[in-house]
Amino acid sequence: MKFDHNNISPLDNRYKLKVIDQSDIFSEYNLIKTRFVIEINWILFLCDKYPVYFSKISNQSKKKILSFRESFDDKSVVKIKKIEQSTNHDVKAIEYFIRDFFKKDRILKNYIYLIHFGLTSEDVNSLSYAIIINDGLKQYLKDIKNLNSLLNKLSVKWKKISLLSRTHGQAASPTTLGKEIKVFSLRIKNEISKLNLITPLAKFSGAIGNYHALNIATDRINWESATKKFIKTFKIKQNPITTQIEPHDWIAELLQTITRINNICLDLSIDSWMYISNDIFKLKLNPDEVGSSTMPHKVNPIDFENAEGNFGLSNALNNYFASKLTKSRLQRDLSDSTVLRNIGISFGYTKVGINSLFNGLNKISPNKQFIEYELDNNWEVLTEAVQTVMRYEGIDDAYEQLKKLSRGKKLDKKSYINFVKSLNISIKAKNKLIKLSPKTYIGLSEKL
């Protein structure tokens, strides 16, 4: 693959191989091609579905049009971009490109009048972006489900590993690594279910959404139904009541949901970084990697740091898109056009973030020796258990007794057992507490 190191975005050079599938979907090439296909299919749709009102097209001519559609390539884009230099209008340039082809055929030239018939450019754009974003969403769902599959595997793999938890940065009731990973996978799963409910929408109703041009041509066709059927051929649903533009509410909802997933992944990236910093996780060594240009000993959590940065970039873009795209002056202004062209950048940064987080998770392993050492040096976390058992046996000031014993202090196994033995509680309760340790005080976390 050729790299252009003069590109302004790292998505087009440094991260090019990591985002190639999303790049193909959101590229200028694909946008132009999608518009082109819509224009061609609209001609065929009118002729096939409504031959009484429009010129019936022969199989031979239809084959020529389909062959023209399938032959679209880089050269086609170059020709269209050249026309655009004169028109200063991207959709009109595609119309003229098709017209130039039809002109060369004695039969097809009779169908030139049907190119872009009854449409405004926003009809073509609305459907194009719905198709493209929907394709981008499908790829995104593959990536995020792949990440979540890894989290589920790690959750099961690590479900028996007890861990000293931390609340407010302080030692707290123990948990298990598996359960803590499960928290993130379940959060992501819940958001994925919301993504699956979002319906991509497009409009195909003319200059200000009232089907003016189509209806004035002939009012014998139910244009609302006809355009709905046409849009459905691209597996997109119609928004029947709009201004000149589809209002993009579904895009905002989509990006806001992705932002929430990004934030879950950010939370996981930061927690993973902190677990590494606190020796809970060990990083697997790659002998070819360099951790620092000056400190040879370093093995840095760079994947989690990279993920954090790229999820943050995606969120910043998503927040702007969701705010901007849902606002348009009266029936239409053009400010959304340049913004929509950049939506693939958000998907690109999200993909880099997911890729980095996935790689980071595959490079870590629990530092069991340190985890057990830390648990064994924090017996004070069992005071929650002791005071709860005391309460259960009717001791009113249980919390206060344990607070006096442990607040701001360290307890070891011996002092813990001696305190339990001194309590005025049943033998059964004492035995239960004496058998307890920070490693085994994990509640239902293994089951969870």
404: pLDDT strictly greater than 90? no
pTM of the model: 0.91
445: pLDDT strictly greater than 70? yes
Q: Which of 292, 335, 337, 426 is an active site residue?
A: 292
* Residue 344 pLDDT: 95
Residue 393 pLDDT class (50, 70, 90 cuts): confident
Name the token pair of 55.
Answer: 């010129």
Q: Please confirm, yes or no, whether 248 is among the known catalytic residues.
A: no
Assess contact for 218 and 140: CB atoms under 8 A.
no
pLDDT average, residue stretch 204-231: 95
* CATH for the 24-117 domain, from 1.10.275.10, 3.10.450.50, 1.10.150.120, 3.40.640.10: 1.10.275.10
Residue 411 pLDDT class (50, 70, 90 cuts): confident
Higher-confidence residue: 294 or 368? 368
Could you count the other beta carbons within 10 Å of the beta carbon of residue 294?
Answer: 5
297: pLDDT strictly greater than 50? no
* CATH for the 122-287+296-366 domain, from 1.20.200.10, 2.60.120.260, 3.40.50.300, 3.40.190.10: 1.20.200.10
Q: How much of the chain, in percent, has pLDDT values that exceed 90?
A: 76
Give me the chain's average pLDDT, please: 92
* Residue 447 pLDDT: 87
pLDDT in tens, 299-318: 578 999 999 999 999 999 99
**Considering only the top CATH level, what class is 377-435?**
mainly alpha
158: pLDDT strictly greater than 80? yes
pLDDT average, residue stretch 390-401: 84
Rounded to a whole number of angstroms, the distance between the first and last alpha carbons of the chain is 46
pLDDT in tens, 258-290: 999 999 999 999 999 999 999 999 987 665 564
* Residue 305 pLDDT: 96
pLDDT average, residue stretch 93-104: 97
296: pLDDT strictly greater than 50? no
**How far is the C-alpha of 345 from the C-alpha of 320, rounded, in Å?**
13
Enumerate the domain spans of the chain: 24-117, 122-287+296-366, 377-435
pLDDT average, residue stretch 28-43: 97
User: Do 377-435 and 24-117 have the same topology in CATH?
Assistant: no
Least confident segment among 10-24, 135-149, 224-238: 10-24
Q: Please confirm, yes or no, whether 292 is among the known catalytic residues.
A: yes
224: pLDDT strictly greater than 90? yes
* Residue 292 pLDDT: 45
